[in-house]
Each structure stands twice: as C-alpha cells, then as structure tokens.
Amino acid sequence: MSHQIAVIPGDGIGQEVTPAAIDVLDALEVDFEFREGEAGDRVAEETGDPLPEATIELARESDATLFGAAGERAADIILPLREVVGSYANVRPAKAYPGLEAVKPETDLVFIRENTQGVYAQIESQLTDDLATLTRVVTREASRKIAEYGFEYAEEHGYDNVTIAHKANVMQETDGLFLEAAEAVAEERGADYDTELMDALAMKLVMYPEDYDVIITPNLAGDVLSDLAAGLVGGLGLLPSANVGDDNALFEPVHGSAPDIAGQGVANPSAMILSAAMMLDHLDYDDEATRVTDAVETVLAEGPHTPDLGGDASTEAFTAAVIEQL
Amino acid sequence: MSHQIAVIPGDGIGQEVTPAAIDVLDALEVDFEFREGEAGDRVAEETGDPLPEATIELARESDATLFGAAGERAADIILPLREVVGSYANVRPAKAYPGLEAVKPETDLVFIRENTQGVYAQIESQLTDDLATLTRVVTREASRKIAEYGFEYAEEHGYDNVTIAHKANVMQETDGLFLEAAEAVAEERGADYDTELMDALAMKLVMYPEDYDVIITPNLAGDVLSDLAAGLVGGLGLLPSANVGDDNALFEPVHGSAPDIAGQGVANPSAMILSAAMMLDHLDYDDEATRVTDAVETVLAEGPHTPDLGGDASTEAFTAAVIEQL
Ligand SMILES: CC(C)[C@H](C(=O)O)[C@@H](O)C(=O)O
Ligand SMILES: CC(C)[C@H](C(=O)O)[C@@H](O)C(=O)O
C-alpha cells in the first residue's frame, strides 16, 4: 500500500537533516510518495505566515508528516501542525544512544504525553493590563485516550513499568480527573501501574531513571519531564519523537533549528532519521523501523561522527554510513 | 527584640526533627518565644480538620512559623499555611551537602518560586462529570514582587547569575505577563539576567547545574524544577526552605513525614535545622544563621551520621553534635 508522506523541512538544520532522512527511507523497499511543504521563518518573512494554508492542507491529507525543525516561531508552527494531524499522543523516547556522554546512561524510557489539552488548549485572557488568566482543560475522553495509548504502547513494546504522572494534590479537579480516568483504564485492562506526583517524579527520574519504562503524563508535565530526561541522556540532539493521531501522525526530532551550525552541512541527522524510524514503526513497517534504528545505533557507536559528537563527518557522510549499515 | 515563633511539628518525623531544631535554637543567644500548634493526620482524625483554626491564628499572629512535616493531607495544610503567613516567595536552595552522594555535586543554586498564584490559585470547576477546568492566574503585581525579591536575594547573597524561568511560548498571556514584569524589574535595577523556557531549563539543569545561581520561577515550574534540583544533590532529605511574606514567614524542610521511619528516633534533622537557620537569616540573626549552617555542614562531613546517611546515630545524638559545633 502506498503512503503519502508530507515533508516539511522547516528552518535551519531542518533543511539538512530532513533530506538525510528521506535518503534513508529511499534506500528501503517502502512505497512512500513524498510531497514537500513550506513552514518557518523564511516563508514567514515572505508571506507573514510561518505555516501557510497549503502546508496545513498537505499535512492534513497525507498519511504522515515528517517535520524537520522550527526556529523563533516554533510554537506557531508545531502546535497547529500537531492539531492538524489530530495527534493526541506525543511519544518521546529518552534513551542514551552510544557515542553520547550521558549523566545517566542507564536511562531508557518513553514518555507518552497527552498532546491536545491542559495549558496547551491555549485559552488565555488578558483581563486587564495587569492580570491574565489561562484556562487549563482536562476531559475524561482525552485522558482515557492517552492512557489507552500508553498501556497499549507498553504492551506492544514489551515494557513492564507504567507510571501515571500528575499533580492532583494541587490541581484536584483537573489532574484529579486525568488520574481517575487513567487509573480506570488500567483497571479495565488489568494492567499494573504506579502513580507519581510530577514534582516527586522529577526528582526520582534524576536519581533512579532505571526504575521507569513508560510514563503517561499530562501535556505540560510531559513537556518538562521529557526534556529533563533528555538531559539525563546527553541532550536533545539525538532524540526523536512522534505525534500520533487516529488516522494521521507527525514525526519530528526533539531538537530545534540550531542556527549556529545551519547551512554548514555538518548537522547530526540521527534524531531526524530515528523519527523516520518511528514513522516506519507507526505505519507497520516494523522490520524496516528496526533496521533503520539499528543502523543509526551502529554508526553512532562506530563512527563516522558529526562534529557535535567530536568527529568531522558531514551530514551526508553520516547518512551514507547509515544507509550502508541498513 | 523578642520574636514569637509558632512551632507546628505536624506528622511523622516532623514530631522528631522539630524539637531537634528548637534545641539548636535554644543553644543560641536569641530571644525567641516558642508556641506550639497542632496540624496533620492525627488532629484530622480527632477533629476532622488537619489544620485547626487555633493553629492558623497562632501562625498569623507569630513573627515566623517553623513547620515540621505533613503526611497524606500535606496540600491541605501547607498551602493554607503559606497563605496565612502571606508568603509570596518560596525560597529553595539546592546544594550538595557533604556526606550525600550527589548526581551533580557541583550544584549550588536557589529557586525563588512565586508562592501565591499560577495553578496554585486553585480555581477549578468540574463542569461536567467528564470535563474539568482550572484557571491559572498571573498578575503583574505578584510577578514584580517575586522578581524584586529574587534580584534582591541574589544581590544580598552575592550571586551573579539570575535566570527567569517561564513557558511564554505556549502560555503567551499569563507567562508572557510574568516574563514582561520580571524583565521590567531587572531593567529598572540595571541587573543582568537570562531567561529560559522551563522545559529547556529542566534539561540544562540536569546537564550544567553549575551554570545557574538564582532562578526566579512561576509557582508550578518552581515546584517541579526545585525537586529536579533536589535529585541532583542526592534527594530532598537535607533541603530546607523558606516561605517569605512582608511581615511573616514560614520555614519547612522540603522532605515529608517519612512514615516508614517515624517514631524510631533516627530521622535526620538536618533539613529542619537548616530551615531554622533560614529563619535566623530572615529575622536578621545573620551570624547565628551562619553558625548553625556551618555546624550542620561540619557534622554532615565528620559524623556522627543518622541511618539515612549510613550511620547509626540517633536524631538526638546528631543534634547534640550540631550544638557542640556551634
Ligand atoms: C516549541 C514548543 C511549543 C514545544 C512544546 O512546548 O510542546 C516544544 O517544547 C516541544 O516539547 O516540542
Ligand atoms: C505538598 C504540595 C502541595 C507542595 C507544593 O506543591 O507546593 C510540595 O510539593 C512542595 O513543593 O512544598
């Protein structure tokens, strides 16, 4: 079955790592049709809009979207795109890949972050010049849905520990509802789980990351805790992510547009290629997903390395090495 | 000048570490009059109320309050008490004390956490059985006040780096106002500062804690990031905190009531004694504050140690050693 894939390189090194991922996908026996769309600071300068309607349409009608990186206007691009593809689950593995110095190399966990509500509903009012409010929204439906996804993900990927993060001691109604709904899903499935207050979890993740596998979290908690975990494994540089909806999905590296090294052809495309591997997994090309992930890990372990890891390989040379390992 | 100090031991090891801190204060030449109040699970069982009106009154009319620890009902005790003393600043040092294994021993920073608003305004509505909302509130006044306190604190304590944490790319109106107000305070004072998105800061704190001194944060961000930093220095066990208002203040260890070891007389009273030292500093007993802090650090370095640090000293023996070092 042919899949139509929207490709949105975006800003800075997005323009370099996205073609690298496409090259890797092209080297596989998969039936993808790629269509490119524009987004980011450059198109914003030309048209005033960082995310043109045509790009939104492209993402909407594709089976999946590969997104590179965004610069200054990241929130104005990535948040609408997540909504356009109907993604309710933001999947963020944090694992120490070989070749990276890590604060906690034993870290190997996956955040399943609710991707539609909480403070990201972005319902705000500037009531007076000196007073602003934000309405945080939590529904049972969205909470059940992310919990279902999280427990399913844990089962499919062979993870034992599932933790539900929350702050229901302070946000009693909203996170209370999130927690109640997520626990109900666990009970119905007969699944084991733990719950953790998000502040206590921040501390425990720093001290004992090996105790955790899959962490189901509200939106902002997932944003902060997954970046914390990125710190444990050596930074955002190598981390992929998926934004998964019922009929559509978007895959993006966790890193940004890295303007300091953009245009030099030396960006490390690992996170982007690993995001493409998450797309393969999502589209049920399980073998291909594993082949790509293994190839990236091998090259990260054996070299050649891009400058961020102390080597002098170009993006192209790194990508060629990955393709050779496939 | 005599100060009236409310003493609320609370639950579990609060009953053991609070008298230890009082013993240390008694060993100094300070004119404190202590009055004890009840709070916690035990009084809740007897009266249905974990924080009796008499205790609230006591805290309100005292110059400062020492609070031990709370159990299950922590949020129902500590949040109202913070409000009763009018505390707008939650001051949380995170520093690796000698004797503790630390993930990042070079950590030495202080969170200045806004203590009155954000999601802690606790304005929530269960709109239907399946939908709940929370109204997050940010005012210019409270944002200016915490920023003033933070920059003043940095100046008084000789810290160079001040960082303002926020998530204004998503919470554009509310954290936008917080950021704008805090930056305005910095400009007026001619003070240097950086700003960081709270997610990026979570990552950087894990990787480069030595880059930070004073971090001014909204309420929930401070809750999570300060626990993260506790993880960097070996856990909550030794960390003190202050809740500072204009005419009143409350001092509490960051740890909880530790029901697993309560009643055995072996709790480590360091965090409580260091919280008492923060109280001394706040009441302008600067020398005494330094003497107490130094004494605790010496005993932590040289022993005797309580069981949490691998020793077999009792709470009493540890406290006696601190008093001897004064
Ligand atoms: C750019 C920003 C809006 C985004 C978020 O907060 O979700 C980013 O931090 C992320 O985690 O992908
Ligand atoms: C007990 C709880 C309400 C409290 C908070 O969230 O502020 C605690 O986590 C803290 O940081 O002191």
Kindly state the average pLDDT of the residues B192-213: 97
What is the per-residue pLDDT for A1?
74
Model confidence at B143: pLDDT above 90: yes
Q: What is the DSSP string of B171-228?
A: STTHHHHHHHHHHHHHHHHT---EEEEHHHHHHHHHH-GGG-SEEEE-HHHHHHHHHH
Kindly state the average pLDDT of the residues A218-243: 96
| Strand extents, DSSP E, chain A | 3-10, 32-36, 64-69, 87-95, 108-114, 118-128, 131-139, 162-166, 194-197, 214-217, 240-245, 249-253
What is the per-residue pLDDT for A321?
98
pLDDT band, very low/low/confident/very high, at B101 (cuts 50, 70, 90): confident
Closest CA to B66 of B113, B121, B156, B58: B58
Kindly state the average pLDDT of the residues A125-132: 97
A104-122 pLDDT tens trace = 999 999 999 999 999 999 9
Model confidence at A99: pLDDT above 80: no
* Tokens linked to A23: 């090259």
**pLDDT higher at A98 or B64:** B64
Chain A CB contacts of B130 under 8 Å are 139-141, 177
A227 catalytically annotated: yes
Stated as kind and residue range, the H or E segment containing B90 is strand B87-95
A167-196 pLDDT tens trace = 999 999 999 999 999 999 999 999 999 999
**Closest-CA residue in chain B for A202?**
B228
User: Is the minimum CB–CB distance between B102 and chain A shorter than 8 Å?
Assistant: no
> How far is the C-alpha of A308 from the C-alpha of B60, rounded, in Å?
56
A208 catalytically annotated: no
What is the per-residue pLDDT for A100?
77
Q: Say which ligand is closest to the CA of A75.
A: 1
> How far is the C-alpha of B218 from the C-alpha of A107, rounded, in Å?
29
Asked whether the beta carbons of residue A119 and residue B235 sit closer than 8 angstroms, the reply is: no
> Which among B122, B130, B172 has CB closest to A124?
B172
Model confidence at B72: pLDDT above 90: no
* Tokens linked to A273: 């290629």
Model confidence at A203: pLDDT above 90: yes
> How far is the C-alpha of B216 from the C-alpha of B224, rounded, in Å?
13
pLDDT band, very low/low/confident/very high, at B100 (cuts 50, 70, 90): confident
The span from the first CA to the last CA of chain A, in angstroms, equals 22
Any residues with CB less than 8 A from the CB of B259 and at least 6 apart, and which? B11, B12, B71
A257-280 pLDDT tens trace = 999 999 999 999 999 999 999 999
A53-94 pLDDT tens trace = 999 999 999 999 999 999 988 999 999 999 999 999 999 999
Q: What is the mean pLDDT of chain A?
A: 96
Give residue A293 CA to ligand 2 midpoint distance, Å: 40
Asked whether the beta carbons of residue B135 and residue A139 sit closer than 8 angstroms, the reply is: no
B167 catalytically annotated: yes
Model confidence at B1: pLDDT above 80: no
> How far is the C-alpha of A24 from the C-alpha of A295, rounded, in Å?
10
B231-279 pLDDT tens trace = 999 988 899 999 999 999 999 999 999 999 999 999 999 999 999 999 9
Q: Is the pTM of this model over 0.75?
A: yes
pLDDT band, very low/low/confident/very high, at B219 (cuts 50, 70, 90): very high
Closest CA to A312 of A253, A268, A263: A268
Q: Which atom of ligand 1 is nearest to the CA of A79?
A: 3
Asked whether the beta carbons of residue A75 and residue B169 sit closer than 8 angstroms, the reply is: yes
User: Is the minimum CB–CB distance between B132 and chain A shorter than 8 Å?
Assistant: yes
Q: What is the DSSP string of B11-71?
A: STTHHHHHHHHHHHHHTSS--EEEEE---SHHHHHHHS-SS-HHHHHHHHHSSEEEEEE--
Decide: B95 and B297 in contact? Cβ < 8 Å. no
Q: Which atom of ligand 1 is nearest to the CA of A219?
A: 7
**Closest-CA residue in chain B for A180?**
B130
Asked whether the beta carbons of residue A207 and residue B134 sit closer than 8 angstroms, the reply is: no
Q: Which residues are near ligand 2 (CB < 6 Å)?
A: A 169-170, 199; B 74-75, 78-79, 223
**Closest-CA residue in chain B for A208?**
B231
Asked whether the beta carbons of residue B227 and residue A79 sit closer than 8 angstroms, the reply is: no
Model confidence at B207: pLDDT above 90: yes
Between the alpha carbon of residue B1 and those of residues A253, B4, B64, B66, B283, the distances in Å are: 61, 10, 14, 19, 10
Decide: A288 and A280 in contact? Cβ < 8 Å. yes
Decide: B315 and B306 in contact? Cβ < 8 Å. yes
Any residues with CB less than 8 A from the CB of B19 and at least 6 apart, and which? B9
Share of chain A above pLDDT 90, in %: 95
